[in-house]
């Protein structure tokens, strides 16, 4: 079923057509005395954009950290097609086509944009480190293919002009785009975006929203988006899950969720 990801020329093709559902059930995460996620359920239907919203500390990033294998669940399950993600280490989850961006930028500041994106292609690289180090012909061919795909993705995300620039020298808004591009370099079937427009100005937000929409349309992947801006959520999301203190307090279409009394209460700190 995952053949397109590991087939010989998959490295230069967009993501696989067979995007499975992501089914989260009873997900519970504890940190010494604190229950960060408490029996959370939600389903991301194939090819849809699912937003996770909630006040600070609600458990949104924790949820991403479980989905990508960084944190272990205390209970519950996360199924992506036939795979149980809670049982897998991060690199195995990435190999299934699950890619993420981080709430706080996680680029290597001294590497060029192009090299940061090449790191994103790491899981698709078939040549061993030794062959690559010796610059054997096979390794050089493979590297050229990856570089070509990196340039394509950079073009698509609007950062082609910055490929040679060290990531640390780029303006913040561009770095957020490089993060998105790096996640796309994994050729994901499921893309996890943690606050992709945080800290951006109005125009940059609009542009990023348009890019996310294009990415979804062009690659047919599923997206899970953590976002505070309700306007952005309403424009982009097919479905929304609302967390508060680690619990799912509401879910459904954006307009329905926005009017939900439990959501209004959570956002107004219990005053409504």
Ligand X SMILES: Nc1ncnc2c1ncn2[C@@H]1O[C@H](COP(=O)(O)OP(=O)(O)OP(=O)(O)O)[C@@H](O)[C@H]1O
> Contact positions toward Mg ion, by CB under 5 A?
60-61, 103
Span interacting with ligand X, options 52-60, 88-96, 115-123, 184-192, rule CB under 6 A: 52-60
264/34 Cα distance (integer angstroms): 24
Q: How far is the CB of 14 from ligand X (least distance, A)?
A: 30
**Residue 202 half-sphere exposure toward CB, CA atoms < 13 A:** 0
Closest Cα to residue 145, out of 13, 266, 246, 42? Answer: 13
243/241 Cα distance (integer angstroms): 7
Q: How far is the CB of 57 from ligand X (least distance, A)?
A: 4
Residue 54's binding partner, choosing from ligand X, Mg ion, none, with beta-carbon cut-off 5 to 8 A by kind?
Answer: ligand X
Nearer CB in complex with Mg ion: 195/239: 195
1/24 Cα distance (integer angstroms): 21
Position 56 contacts ligand X (CB under 6 A): yes
Give the x-and-dash track for 11-30 against ligand X (CB under 6 A): --------------------
Residue 31's binding partner, choosing from ligand X, Mg ion, none, with beta-carbon cut-off 5 to 8 A by kind?
Answer: ligand X
Position 101 contacts ligand X (CB under 6 A): no
End-to-end CA distance of the chain: 49
Nearer CB in complex with Mg ion: 28/103: 103
Position 103 contacts ligand X (CB under 6 A): yes
Nearer CB in complex with ligand X: 27/88: 27
- Spell out where the chain has E strands: 22-31, 34-44, 49-53, 75-80, 83-84, 98-100, 190-194, 222-226, 239-244, 247-252
Residue ranges binding ligand X (CB under 6 A): 31, 34, 36, 54, 56-62, 103
């Amino acid at each position: 079923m995952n053949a397109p990801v590991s087939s010989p020329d998959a490295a230069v093709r967009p993501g696989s057509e067979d995007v499975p559902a992501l089914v989260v059930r009873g997900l519970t995460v504890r940190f010494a005395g604190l229950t960060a996620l408490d029996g959370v359920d939600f389903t991301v239907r194939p090819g849809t954009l699912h937003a996770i919203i909630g006040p600070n500390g609600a458990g949104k990033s924790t949820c991403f950290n479980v989905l990508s294998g960084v944190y272990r669940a205390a209970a519950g399950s996360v199924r992506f097609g036939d795979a149980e993600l809670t049982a897998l280490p991060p690199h195995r989850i990435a190999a299934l086509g699950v890619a993420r961006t981080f709430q706080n930028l996680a680029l290597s500041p001294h590497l060029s944009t192009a090299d940061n994106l090449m790191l994103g292609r790491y899981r698709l690289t078939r040549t061993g480190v030794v062959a690559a180090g010796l610059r054997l012909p096979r390794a050089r061919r493979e590297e050229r293919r990856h570089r070509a795909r990196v340039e394509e993705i950079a073009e698509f995300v609007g950062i082609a002009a910055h490929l040679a620039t060290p990531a640390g020298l780029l303006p913040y808004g561009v770095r957020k785009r490089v993060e998105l591009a790096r996640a796309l370099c994994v050729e994901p079937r499921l893309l996890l975006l943690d606050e992709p427009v945080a800290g951006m100005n109005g125009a940059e937000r609009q542009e990023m929203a348009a890019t996310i929409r294009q990415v979804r349309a062009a690659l047919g992947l599923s997206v899970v988006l953590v976002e505070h801006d309700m306007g952005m959520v309403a424009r982009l999301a097919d479905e929304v899950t609302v967390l508060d203190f680690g619990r799912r307090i509401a879910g459904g279409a954006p307009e329905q969720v926005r009017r939900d009394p439990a959501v209004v209460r959570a956002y107004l700190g219990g005053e409504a």
